[in-house]
Chain A
Amino acid sequence: MAFDEMTTSDGGVRAPYAGIAQWLKDTPAETLKTRGKEAELLYRRGGITFAVYGDLQGEERIIPHDIVPRVLARKEWNTLAKGLEQRVRTLNRYLADIYGPGECLKAGIIPEDLVWQNPAFRPEMVGVDVPHGIYVHIAGVDVVRIDPDTFYVLEDNARTPSGVSYMLHSRDVSLRLVPELMDTHRVAPIENYPDQLLASLRSVAPRRQSSEPTVALLTPGQFNSAYYEHSFLADKMGVELVEGRDLFVRDEVVYMRTTQGPQRVDVVYRRIDDDFIDPLSFRPDSTLGVPGLFAAYKAGNVTLANAVGTGAADDKVIYSYMPDLTKFYFGEEPILKNVQTWRCRRPDELRYVLDHLSELVVKEVHGSGGYGMLVGPHATAAQIEDFRARLNANPSNYIAQPTLSLSTCPTFVESGIAPRHVDLRPFVLSGSDGIRIVPGGLTRVALREGSLVVNSSQGGGTKDTWVIE
């Protein structure tokens, strides 16, 4: 049995959920149903959509929102937040190391080929003096819970993590649809996330004489699956939403075209992948980027958030070294646990994985979005054989992990209220003035009974996440 965050195994209610349990008891099923429909309507009216790549219809989908909040007690959150801060410090330190002195390589903590051959490693970044030494300004660390005291990190999303707009909308929906519940709980506010993000981004501007650094959000454009979020965040921060053609570089300084003429840009919050940001330094066929942007960055005239090449820290093999890296750099015990990970690049570990495919989750080292993975216990014999062949053909492309029994939360489904598996993506902001984390994050819920896949592209939904006093 998975750990349920509300109901204990003997049928009792865990303290943080006392109010929720009472509310669920008191509210007629019809009312919950109506509010569920209203939530969908709010999303639809707000145009809060995402596109799924590879979907032939190419239509934009509404992410299903579950109106039953997920609750964390302040004490639980404080421990989690400390762990997240430590994790992100490790990510930043590791990136500064591999693009700098390479101490973890010299000490033999990380095998060299995992750096030099890593497709997400950007040789161009070596020796670049990154403003304030920060690489991962925004991280979306996925954590899961398996019992009252244990949180595991599942993924360190250090490239351009998305989903924070869903976090903010979930709170909006709670305020409108379950106000009586909000009234009876002291829920830590998250509405200031855009302000925190802006403050964090401004804090990492290159050091120069200037009143207030100018920030712009660079989007690949409206055909990107997260375009809605890009425009939403730019709007909430009060910064310009720009595409590549709206920016230009002159003498290694970045400017934005405005109706008042060119305006210097100090920080680019870029939601474009590394490959596409500058056709002169990366993919030459990119029309999304800004020619000369990387040279301006190298010259120290602009900050890119996140830095280029952060993907070298968040693939699923490097993930498995994070606890060692925390100890190596800071001499600290990791606060958050890592899921045991078999690295199929090693013959003995590959053998173990092949012998236990029906029990394990197998993932591509550079995969994301719940694509290209095998969930052994839920897979058919044919799917398992397919993965066996893939593993044998290219073992170093895969890792395997035990299937974790993710915690469940009460969720409103067709049959009424039922437990469904959840994860949590808190957003961790790193600025020159410290780390900021708004309490909570995006809770994703696997709506299908028994399913462990919470990705929105795979039928997952969202919940509001409450940190309560």
Chain B
Amino acid sequence: MRIHVRHVTTYTYDTPAHSITQLLRLTPRNHQGQTVRKWRIDLDCDGQLKASEDAFGNTVHTLSLAGPVGALTVAADGELDTLDTNGIVRGAVERFPVGLYLRETDLTKPSAELIEYAKALEGPDILTTLHNVLARIYRDMRFDKTPTQATTTAAEAFALKSGVCQDLTHIFLACARTLKIPARYVGGYLWRADGDARQQQEAGHAWAEAYVPDLGWVGFDPANGISAMAAHVRVAIGLDYLGAAPVRGSRTGGPGERLDVAVSIAQNQ
């Protein structure tokens, strides 16, 4: 499947910002089910993007702008070929042993209720357990499409029984790690089979990967109740949202920031 992604983030300030510093994880890498044909990040300001790789193997760009900055647009644009691999991710950049992905983080720390919920989902083998977790989260949690900026924890989202894809992914990670299954956060994009060919979305997508002995890393998309497919474009991984967030930024000055995110995903056969 050939997928074209354009992800445009625009910041506008009522009063120009003095300075802006950002950390971008907006650049996908290859694995067996995904080949990046072309990819670029453009700015509408005079600034330098410095590329590096983080500890998890994600491509990171840093951006710093000296103000005054009245508006800033960061546009990631590119094209990938993807294959359906039944969710199995092979040939990705792996920088850590699997055991690292059992780490609890502030955002994925389970509550007592969440631990109890997870324990009831244990199946006869790990793959069955993971499918149980996937199906139950899809059934029990309401998928809220309104993108949020806040960093809600898995426990908070679980108590609300709803959340955006990021929250449902955190709940999935909390369940998997509670059951001693290594799991990680994936940030990326989803071409929706139920949409039209050129899709306008308000945010990227998020799902989880869990480690299954003999299979390796397998992608689970709790917001859609499915395994990751050819329609999933994998950009960055982390222990939680913070490690894979497309943009983490900070500014001085510039009160009254407005943020617009436009993601368009098109499929060309």
Number of interface residues of B (CB under 8 A): 29
Bound complex: CA A167 to CA B106 (Å): 37
Whether B124 is near chain A, meaning CB under 8 Å from some CB there, is no
Q: How far is the CB of B250 from chain A (nearest CB, A)?
A: 4
Instruction: Check A112–B97 contact: CB distance below 8 A.
Output: yes
Instruction: Check B151–A291 contact: CB distance below 8 A.
Output: no
Contacts A249-B64, A250-B64 given; indicate if A123 touches B23 (C-beta within 8 A). Answer: no
Q: How far is the CB of B204 from chain A (nearest CB, A)?
A: 18
Bound complex: CA A126 to CA B55 (Å): 6
Contacts A251-B50, A295-B62 given; indicate if A125 touches B55 (C-beta within 8 A). Answer: yes
Among residues of B, the one whose C-beta sits closest to the C-beta of A253 is B64
Instruction: Check A292–B21 contact: CB distance below 8 A.
Output: yes
B133-144 interface bits toward A, Cβ cutoff 8 Å, 1 = contact, 0 = none: 000000000000
Among residues of B, the one whose C-beta sits closest to the C-beta of A126 is B55
Contact of A112 among B55, B99, B242, B252 (CB under 8 A): B99
Instruction: Check A280–B250 contact: CB distance below 8 A.
Output: yes
Main secondary structure of the interface of A (DSSP, over half): loop
Instruction: Check A116–B250 contact: CB distance below 8 A.
Output: no
A291-312 interface bits toward B, Cβ cutoff 8 Å, 1 = contact, 0 = none: 1100100110000000000000
Whether B239 is near chain A, meaning CB under 8 Å from some CB there, is yes
Instruction: Check B23–A299 contact: CB distance below 8 A.
Output: no
Q: Which residues of B99-152 are within 8 A (CB) of A? A: 99-100, 102-103, 106, 151
Chain B contacts of A126 at CB under 8 A?
55, 95-96
Q: How far is the CB of A218 from chain B (nearest CB, A)?
A: 16
Instruction: Check A295–B151 contact: CB distance below 8 A.
Output: no
Instruction: Check B64–A123 contact: CB distance below 8 A.
Output: no
Instruction: Check A117–B239 contact: CB distance below 8 A.
Output: no
Instruction: Check B99–A116 contact: CB distance below 8 A.
Output: yes
Among residues of B, the one whose C-beta sits closest to the C-beta of A105 is B97
Instruction: Check A252–B66 contact: CB distance below 8 A.
Output: no
Among residues of A, the one whose C-beta sits closest to the C-beta of B19 is A248
Q: How far is the CB of B196 from chain A (nearest CB, A)?
A: 35
Instruction: Check A250–B23 contact: CB distance below 8 A.
Output: no
Instruction: Check B54–A124 contact: CB distance below 8 A.
Output: yes
Contacts A112-B97, A250-B64, A280-B23 given; indicate if A123 touches B250 (C-beta within 8 A). Answer: no
Whether A19 is near chain B, meaning CB under 8 Å from some CB there, is no
Whether A79 is near chain B, meaning CB under 8 Å from some CB there, is no
Instruction: Check B56–A113 contact: CB distance below 8 A.
Output: no
Chain A contacts of B21 at CB under 8 A?
248-249, 280, 291-292
Whether A47 is near chain B, meaning CB under 8 Å from some CB there, is no
Q: How far is the CB of B102 from chain A (nearest CB, A)?
A: 6
B41-73 interface bits toward A, Cβ cutoff 8 Å, 1 = contact, 0 = none: 000000010101011100010101010000000
Whether A133 is near chain B, meaning CB under 8 Å from some CB there, is no
Bound complex: CA A283 to CA B55 (Å): 17
Q: Which residues of B230-267 are within 8 A (CB) of A? A: 239, 242, 248-250, 252
Chain A contacts of B66 at CB under 8 A?
250
Instruction: Check A299–B239 contact: CB distance below 8 A.
Output: no
Contacts A123-B103, A123-B239 given; indicate if A280 touches B56 (C-beta within 8 A). Answer: no
Among residues of A, the one whose C-beta sits closest to the C-beta of B251 is A291
Among residues of B, the one whose C-beta sits closest to the C-beta of A286 is B250
Q: How far is the CB of A92 from chain B (nearest CB, A)?
A: 20
Instruction: Check B97–A123 contact: CB distance below 8 A.
Output: no
Chain A contacts of B62 at CB under 8 A?
251-252, 292, 295
Contact of B23 among A113, A128, A281 (CB under 8 A): A281
Contact of B250 among A113, A127, A250, A279 (CB under 8 A): A279
16 A-B contact pairs sorted by A residue (CB < 8 Å) = A116-B96, A116-B102, A117-B102, A123-B55, A124-B54, A124-B55, A126-B95, A126-B96, A248-B19, A249-B64, A252-B50, A280-B248, A284-B248, A291-B21, A292-B62, A295-B23
Across the A-B interface, give the 5 residue pairs with the lowest CB-CB distance, nearest first: A291-B250, A291-B21, A292-B21, A116-B100, A126-B55
Q: A123-B96, A280-B249, A292-B23 are in contact. List 12 more A-B contacts (CB 8 A).
A: A112-B99, A113-B99, A116-B100, A116-B102, A248-B19, A248-B21, A250-B64, A250-B66, A251-B50, A280-B21, A292-B250, A295-B50
